[in-house]
Chains A and B, each alone.
Chain A
Amino acid sequence: MKRRDILKVGAAAAGLGFPAIIRAQPKEIVMLGIWPATGAFSDVGPILDRGMRMALEERDMKIQGRPVKYIVRDSATAAGAATRRVEEAVDGEGAKFVIGPWSSGVALAVSEVAKRKKVFHYFSGGTEDISGSRCHRYSFQWAASPYTAAKTVVDNFMKANPKARRWHLLVADYAFGWSVEKYIKEVGKTHGIEFVGADRHPLGEREFSNYVQKAAANRPDAVAMINFGLDAVSGAREIFNFGLTPKVPLIMTWSSGVEELVQLTPEIRENIWVGSNFYYTADTPVAKKFVAAYQAKFGNPPGYAPSAAYGMTRMMLHAFDKAKSVEVRDVITALEGIEVQDLVGRMRVDPKTHQTLRPYFFMRCKPKSAMKHPTDFADIIATGDTPLPAEYAACKDLGSF
């Protein structure tokens, strides 16, 4: 056989054989984690990625026998950058399932992209608009409703401190802060709480002395912060520096838990009460397994951020299982009304609003003398899962696909 003939045979074999190999490869399912790698919350992006990756790795990166291609893009905590990158991932990479980002304001913009591009979207954050006034068929909310959080925090704090009726609020001035503030005030009325002051600060505020001076001047029985991340850490630190805590209790109403508490010293944490969507001592089989695996892998317990990414991915995977399909519409339909025992206990998805109905945690920080190890920050003293009353629900119609 001549050299040319060999090449012809090889070319024919390649022409016939390779497409067969390609056909035999099941089509991959592309999932996008849109996490902040730069800008505000850039410290949280890598650990959000860890959570989503861990949930997918539990399934060996496969769904219904098909490989999962997990891609990550930087949300930059900027609506413009995040939406552009989600669109590029959907159009260029074929992403159909999107989880993230980490900021409520940015998430609302990403949610609009999900609606327009008809892709699945799961988010965890403090805005109630995803499952409220701007709800639609493609976006879901994993974090507890701001009402659930406010009710859990206010009810249980007042149970422990019935005389603390003069509250001063420090509120992050964006979608998340406004939502939680509204319900803190609403639930506060039922306890006869007087809000002696409520100051709003911009996202990324680091200089809290002026806010704390105003809070101190109001002589409150308690200070409640409705902010997040470094804002919450900076605020708590300054409240301690001004000598308010530990005399006056400080409530971090919507905290990331571990990620924030680790940045405060035990002295600063004294008499701090914390509301969070997750705490690593949560007593559920899934949480225990996840916390053990996370600690073994990364050496420290997971906070709210990796847990939310892990929890959202797990809920989405439950929906895949229920749907027995990998089509976006089927997965969405399966997730609507699903009920599972998962990361934080009993978890349901309201089919009318796409709000995940789940427990919210309320903790009290431990004094230094009671800490058994360096990350033994707090005890869970209560959980609450009161859903948003129907009269407050702003999501009237999810619409069609």
Chain B
Amino acid sequence: MLYALMGLGLSLITGILNIPNFAHGALFAIGAYLLVTTVGVIGNFWVSLLLAPLGVALLGLIIEYAGIRRLYAAGHDYQLLFTFGLALILSEGIIVVWGPVGFSHLPPQILRGGVDLGFTFYPKYRLFVMVAAGLLILATWLFLEKTRYGAIMRAGIENKEMVSLLGIDIHKLFTVAFALGAYLAGIAGALTAPIRGVNPNMGVDMLGIAFVVVALGGLGNLLGAIAAGLLIGVAQAVVAAYWTEASTAVIFAVMALVLLVRPQGLFGIR
């Protein structure tokens, strides 16, 4: 579910801006760090879970408004280089602010420990993450499918020039899309912190998987990103049950296999 959440955010940005956002992993990491910091300050996990991704969305908004927007005229190569450089700056920024050594963060008391599902024993917090991520994906989907602004965003992915000719502020659309993508990365990071802890490289680890999800689903295809995220997660879990050594390699094997058969990804490029 977390892979789907990351993939959805990245696909949204890729679809609207036509560039792969290399800073997406760093935004994920900042979401995790902000959650831990906010819990430390206010002492409430649930409020922190609301605030941390909003902080990342705000950062995304600033990045788009102050950085990427100024490079639209320069072309995609410059925007791509900008997000690549930004990823390095944000990763180093994490080390400067929070230090090079990672640390653990416990789930809230109510979600600690596990439950016996009959066939397996599973941590309560992971079950919560599955439900929360599922709801977030559903909410994002409903926003994109059922609201007017969601329709504009989808139209923006299909044909930016047409949307612009209809009198819609395309730059505002880009900013909102980037902030929404950043929010999804941020909340994925915040939800991940009690599972994997935080460390400066956590964004790099996740970025690779997020790109696999986007490529597998079809570049810029939102439904594809959700389906690919779920597919990767399930494939990893199934393979790990029988052949643990291959559980990481299977992510890339699935992508290679699908792209051999369908180079445009599972749901096609938008």
Q: Mark B92-123, 1 if CB is under 8 A from A, else 0.
A: 00000000111111110000011000001111
Q: Tell whether, in the assembled complex, residue A264 and residue B104 are in contact, meaning their CB atoms are under 8 Å apart.
A: yes
Q: Tell whether, in the assembled complex, residue B236 and residue A230 are in contact, meaning their CB atoms are under 8 Å apart.
A: no
**Residues in chain B near residue A209, CB distance under 8 A:** 123, 126
Q: Which listed residue, B105, B120, B197, B200, touches A234 by the CB 8 Å rule?
A: B197
Q: Tell whether, in the assembled complex, residue A243 and residue B121 are in contact, meaning their CB atoms are under 8 Å apart.
A: yes
**Residues in chain A near residue B205, CB distance under 8 A:** 204, 206
The verdict on B245 contacting chain A, using a C-beta distance below 8 Å, is yes
Q: Tell whether, in the assembled complex, residue B248 and residue A205 are in contact, meaning their CB atoms are under 8 Å apart.
A: yes
Q: Mark A225-236, 1 if CB is under 8 A from B, else 0.
A: 000001001100
Interchain residue pairs A-B with the least CB separation, the first 9: A210-B240, A243-B114, A199-B244, A241-B123, A243-B113, A265-B104, A216-B121, A200-B245, A263-B102
Q: Which listed residue, B113, B114, B196, B237, touches A206 by the CB 8 Å rule?
A: B196
How far in angstroms is the closest Cβ of chain B from A70?
A: 22
How far in angstroms is the closest Cβ of chain B from A62?
A: 31
Q: Mark A182-215, 1 if CB is under 8 A from B, else 0.
A: 0000000000000000011110111101110110
Q: Interface size for chain B: under 10, 10 to 19, 20 to 34, or 35 or more residues?
A: 20 to 34
The verdict on B175 contacting chain A, using a C-beta distance below 8 Å, is no
How far in angstroms is the closest Cβ of chain B from A195?
A: 15
Give the residue name and chain of the A residue nearest to B114 (CB): A243
A46-B101 Cα distance, complex, nearest whole Å: 11
**Residues in chain B near residue A214, CB distance under 8 A:** 240-241, 244
Q: Tell whether, in the assembled complex, residue A207 and residue B197 are in contact, meaning their CB atoms are under 8 Å apart.
A: no
Q: Tell whether, in the assembled complex, residue B196 and residue A234 are in contact, meaning their CB atoms are under 8 Å apart.
A: yes
A259-B100 Cα distance, complex, nearest whole Å: 11
How far in angstroms is the closest Cβ of chain A from B106?
A: 6
Q: Which listed residue, A202, A217, A241, A263, touches B126 by the CB 8 Å rule?
A: A241
How far in angstroms is the closest Cβ of chain B from A175?
A: 15
Instruction: Give 12 A-B contacts (CB < 8 Å), ordered by A residue.
Output: A43-B199, A201-B244, A213-B121, A230-B102, A230-B199, A237-B104, A237-B196, A243-B123, A262-B101, A263-B101, A264-B104, A265-B103
**Residues in chain A near residue B248, CB distance under 8 A:** 202, 205, 207
How far in angstroms is the closest Cβ of chain A from B105?
A: 8
A241-B245 Cα distance, complex, nearest whole Å: 22
A308-B105 Cα distance, complex, nearest whole Å: 29
The verdict on B38 contacting chain A, using a C-beta distance below 8 Å, is no
**Residues in chain A near residue B114, CB distance under 8 A:** 241-243
The verdict on B18 contacting chain A, using a C-beta distance below 8 Å, is no
**Residues in chain B near residue A264, CB distance under 8 A:** 104
Given A213-B121, A265-B106, residue A233 in contact with residue B245 (CB < 8 A) = no
The verdict on A267 contacting chain B, using a C-beta distance below 8 Å, is yes
**Residues in chain A near residue B102, CB distance under 8 A:** 43, 230, 233, 263
How far in angstroms is the closest Cβ of chain A from B113?
A: 5
Q: Tell whether, in the assembled complex, residue B245 and residue A263 are in contact, meaning their CB atoms are under 8 Å apart.
A: no
Q: Which listed residue, B103, B194, B237, touches A263 by the CB 8 Å rule?
A: B103
How far in angstroms is the closest Cβ of chain A from B249?
A: 8
**Residues in chain A near residue B236, CB distance under 8 A:** 207, 210
**Residues in chain A near residue B200, CB distance under 8 A:** 43
How far in angstroms is the closest Cβ of chain A from B84?
A: 16
Q: Which residues of A318-341 have CB atoms within 8 Å of chain B's CB atoms?
A: none
**Residues in chain A near residue B107, CB distance under 8 A:** 241
Q: Tell whether, in the assembled complex, residue B197 and residue A263 are in contact, meaning their CB atoms are under 8 Å apart.
A: yes
The verdict on B201 contacting chain A, using a C-beta distance below 8 Å, is yes
The verdict on B163 contacting chain A, using a C-beta distance below 8 Å, is no
Q: Tell whether, in the assembled complex, residue A241 and residue B195 are in contact, meaning their CB atoms are under 8 Å apart.
A: yes
**Residues in chain B near residue A216, CB distance under 8 A:** 120-121
Q: Tell whether, in the assembled complex, residue A42 and residue B247 are in contact, meaning their CB atoms are under 8 Å apart.
A: no
The verdict on B211 contacting chain A, using a C-beta distance below 8 Å, is no
Q: Tell whether, in the assembled complex, residue A46 and residue B100 are in contact, meaning their CB atoms are under 8 Å apart.
A: yes
A233-B240 Cα distance, complex, nearest whole Å: 19
The verdict on B183 contacting chain A, using a C-beta distance below 8 Å, is no
A323-B186 Cα distance, complex, nearest whole Å: 59
Q: Tell whether, in the assembled complex, residue A207 and residue B120 are in contact, meaning their CB atoms are under 8 Å apart.
A: no
A370-B126 Cα distance, complex, nearest whole Å: 30
The verdict on A173 contacting chain B, using a C-beta distance below 8 Å, is yes
Q: Mark B240-255, 1 if CB is under 8 A from A, else 0.
A: 1100110111000000
Q: Tell whether, in the assembled complex, residue B237 and residue A43 are in contact, meaning their CB atoms are under 8 Å apart.
A: no
Q: Which residues of B191-245 have CB atoms within 8 Å of chain A's CB atoms?
A: 194-197, 199-202, 205, 236-237, 240-241, 244-245
A187-B33 Cα distance, complex, nearest whole Å: 42
The verdict on B125 contacting chain A, using a C-beta distance below 8 Å, is yes
Q: Tell whether, in the assembled complex, residue A42 and residue B123 are in contact, meaning their CB atoms are under 8 Å apart.
A: no
Q: Which listed residue, A46, A207, A241, A242, touches B247 by the CB 8 Å rule?
A: A207
A93-B249 Cα distance, complex, nearest whole Å: 39
Q: Which residues of B119-176 have CB atoms within 8 Å of chain A's CB atoms?
A: 120-123, 125-126
Q: Mark A355-393, 1 if CB is under 8 A from B, else 0.
A: 000000000000000000000000000000000000000
Q: Which listed residue, B100, B105, B126, B249, touches A43 by the CB 8 Å rule?
A: B100
A85-B8 Cα distance, complex, nearest whole Å: 41
Q: Mark A265-278, 1 if CB is under 8 A from B, else 0.
A: 10110000000000
**Residues in chain B near residue A46, CB distance under 8 A:** 100
Q: Tell whether, in the assembled complex, residue B101 and residue A213 are in contact, meaning their CB atoms are under 8 Å apart.
A: no
**Residues in chain B near residue A206, CB distance under 8 A:** 196, 202, 205
**Residues in chain B near residue A233, CB distance under 8 A:** 102, 104, 197
A217-B120 Cα distance, complex, nearest whole Å: 7
Q: Tell whether, in the assembled complex, residue A211 and residue B123 are in contact, meaning their CB atoms are under 8 Å apart.
A: no
A93-B106 Cα distance, complex, nearest whole Å: 48
Give the residue name and chain of the B residue nearest to A209 (CB): B126
A326-B34 Cα distance, complex, nearest whole Å: 52
**Residues in chain B near residue A204, CB distance under 8 A:** 205
Given contacts A211-B244, A243-B113, A268-B106, 19 further A-B contacts (CB under 8 A): A43-B100, A43-B200, A46-B100, A199-B245, A201-B244, A201-B247, A207-B196, A214-B240, A214-B244, A233-B102, A237-B195, A238-B195, A241-B123, A242-B122, A243-B121, A259-B101, A263-B103, A263-B104, A263-B199
